[in-house]
């Protein structure tokens, strides 16, 4: 892994996508407006939402109506974005359009729901709004909420949690988290509670006030939980805020994943994997947790040293593990979840790619392998996999990243070797 000096440049680039939500949530009855300007004559509430359409229930007679999302007004599409984000985070967070407040965006899927992408650029490219340097070294990306941008950098031997103005890049505050090597983690902002969370290479976790940078509490993955990494590049995940909890991966046998009270840092539960088979590398991987409601059970899906695992969200109960995708060096890509399925991949030549289906019998939850692609056919090194409709767009190969378009259901690479390699 190559380390580089952190430098931030903000470009006005946005993209178009759709929404995804697996579980029904309670929602308000409201009037809806179409792009044509026509408004509904009665109030309706959301009962289900997928990639292309929203299912609404009429307030007057309870009948169900399906409407393509693309046919709705911009205001209603933004309402659905907030609805989906609240369903993912477990609360009604104060999220503005354009926010990117955690790793891979509001739903941790790498998809931006903004519209207005230019169909072509001038020869000079998009205008540069501002540029700043001096943020230290590291591999942290940025989290954006409101008028602020958050990142991390190693300055003078200490990892700093850094806040800058979104408008012009001006410094607002910096808070030290801990010493050690350059950070990998992208901070996580909790808009609802006005908190921001940072994590160092060595596993020092900090909760700070998002406005002032004031430290509120801290934990150490190694000292407080006996945590460890599967290999030597350091902790890299971005903690997940889910309702009133912070979910993270210390990597200990009896505390592989833990849930903390996000406001105090107090332990809510820990996932004990000490009775599981010891095949594969012990410790945390380099991935970040995603939320799934597969088989009707809310669970956290994570790629660790010993493979992909599912953990019951409410209790921390270990549910299932899939070993085959794990490599012996560094398991990095954040998995993709859709309905009852989990798409996972890893590199280094001894990884590969799999689609798993989560099933349930009574109180037991497990997975079956839908397909497996060995590394020579399909492997993703550092992540960046995105599911759009029925296709996963990803880089294939270790340290070269041939662009690939993969059928989600079959694993077939539709592009094969028609395009040149990237890097990483």
Q: How confident is the model at residue 260 (pLDDT cuts 50, 70, 90)?
A: very high
Q: How confident is the model at residue 60 (pLDDT cuts 50, 70, 90)?
A: confident
Tell me the pLDDT tens digit for each residue of 265-291.
999 999 999 888 888 889 999 999 999
Based on the fold, state whether residues 140 and 62 are members of the same structural domain: no
Based on the fold, state whether residues 192 and 212 are members of the same structural domain: yes
- Residue 67 scores a pLDDT above 60: yes
Q: Which of 216, 239, 257 is the last residue of a domain?
A: 216
Q: How confident is the model at residue 293 (pLDDT cuts 50, 70, 90)?
A: very high
Based on the fold, state whether residues 10 and 137 are members of the same structural domain: yes
Average pLDDT, whole number, for the chain?
A: 87
Q: Flag whether 80 is in a domain.
A: yes
Q: Residue 76: which H helix or E strand, with range?
A: helix 74-89
More confident residue, 74 or 311: 311
Q: Which long-range contacts (CB under 8 A, 24 or more apart) does 346-349 make?
A: 346/303, 346/379, 346/380, 347/375, 347/379, 347/380, 347/381, 347/382, 347/397, 347/398, 347/399, 348/375, 348/379, 348/381, 348/398, 349/375, 349/379, 349/398
Q: How confident is the model at residue 96 (pLDDT cuts 50, 70, 90)?
A: low
Average pLDDT over residues 194-222: 98
This model's pTM is above 0.85: no
Based on the fold, state whether residues 90 and 132 are members of the same structural domain: no
Do β-strands 137-138 and 44-49 pair in parallel, antiparallel, or remain unpaired?
unpaired
Are 379 and 345 a contacting pair, CB within 8 Å?
Answer: yes
Average pLDDT over residues 161-167: 96
Look at the chain and report how many structural domains it folds into.
2
Q: Which parts of 34-104 are beta strand (E)? A: 44-49, 53-58, 64-68
Q: How confident is the model at residue 423 (pLDDT cuts 50, 70, 90)?
A: low
Q: Flag whether 288 is in a domain.
A: no
- Residue 246 scores a pLDDT above 90: yes
Exposed, middle or buried, 335 (CB in 10 Å: 0-12/13-18/19+)?
Answer: buried
Q: Which of 58, 93, 115 is the last residue of a domain?
A: 115
Q: Flag whether 98 is in a domain.
A: yes
Based on the fold, state whether residues 89 and 135 are members of the same structural domain: no
Based on the fold, state whether residues 56 and 134 are members of the same structural domain: no
Q: Flag whether 207 is in a domain.
A: yes
CA 234 vs. chain centroid, Å, equals: 19
Residue 201 sits in a domain whose CATH number is 2.40.128.630
Based on the fold, state whether residues 88 and 134 are members of the same structural domain: no
Q: What is the pLDDT of residue 10?
A: 42
Q: Flag whether 418 is in a domain.
A: no
Q: What is the pLDDT of residue 93?
A: 42
More confident residue, 337 or 115: 337
Based on the fold, state whether residues 49 and 73 are members of the same structural domain: yes
Domain range for 153 is: 1-16+128-216
Q: Which of 61, 91, 115 is the last residue of a domain?
A: 115
In 3D, which of 115, 27, 134, 146 has the Cα closest to residue 79?
Answer: 27
Based on the fold, state whether residues 33 and 63 are members of the same structural domain: yes
Based on the fold, state whether residues 175 and 102 are members of the same structural domain: no
């Amino acid at each position: 892994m190559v380390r580089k000096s952190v430098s931030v440049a903000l470009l006005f680039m946005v993209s178009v996508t759709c929404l995804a939500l697996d579980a029904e949530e309670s929602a308000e009855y409201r009037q809806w407006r179409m792009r044509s300007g026509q408004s509904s004559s009665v109030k309706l509430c959301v009962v289900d939402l997928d990639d292309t359409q929203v299912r609404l229930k009429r307030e007057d007679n309870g009948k169900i109506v399906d409407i393509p999302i693309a046919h709705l007004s911009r205001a209603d599409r933004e309402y659905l974005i907030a609805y989906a984000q609240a369903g993912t985070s477990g609360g009604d967070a104060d999220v503005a359009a354009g926010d990117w407040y955690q790793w891979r965006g509001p739903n941790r899927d790498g998809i931006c729901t903004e519209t207005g992408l230019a169909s072509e650029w001038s020869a000079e490219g998009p205008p540069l709004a501002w540029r700043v340097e001096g943020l230290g070294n590291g591999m942290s990306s940025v989290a954006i909420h409101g008028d602020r941008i958050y990142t991390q950098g190693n300055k003078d031997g200490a990892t700093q949690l850094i806040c800058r103005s979104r408008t012009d890049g001006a410094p607002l505050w910096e808070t030290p988290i801990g010493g050690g090597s350059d950070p990998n983690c992208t901070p996580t902002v909790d808009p609802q509670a006005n908190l921001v969370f940072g994590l160092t290479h060595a596993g020092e976790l900090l909760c700070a006030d998002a406005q002032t940078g004031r430290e509120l509490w801290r934990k150490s993955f190694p000292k407080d939980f006996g945590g460890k990494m599967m290999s030597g590049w350091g902790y890299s995940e971005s903690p997940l805020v889910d309702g009133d909890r912070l979910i993270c991966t210390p990597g200990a046998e009896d505390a592989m994943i833990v849930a903390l009270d996000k406001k105090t840092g107090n332990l809510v539960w820990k996932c004990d994997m000490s009775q599981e088979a010891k095949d594969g590398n012990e410790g945390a991987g380099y991935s970040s947790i995603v939320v799934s409601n597969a088989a009707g059970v809310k669970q956290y899906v994570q790629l660790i040293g010993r493979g992909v695992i599912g953990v019951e969200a409410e209790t921390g109960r270990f549910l299932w593990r899939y070993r085959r995708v794990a490599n012996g060096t560094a398991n990095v890509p954040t998995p993709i979840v859709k309905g009852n399925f989990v798409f996972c991949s890893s590199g280094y030549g001894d990884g590969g790619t799999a689609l798993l289906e989560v099933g349930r019998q009574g109180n037991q939850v497990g997975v079956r392998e839908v397909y497996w692609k060995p590394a020579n056919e399909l492997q993703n090194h550092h992540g960046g996999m995105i599911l759009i409709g029925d296709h996963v767009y990803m880089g294939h190969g270790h340290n070269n990243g041939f662009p690939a378009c993969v059928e989600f259901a079959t694993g077939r690479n539709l592009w094969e070797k028609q395009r040149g390699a990237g890097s990483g």
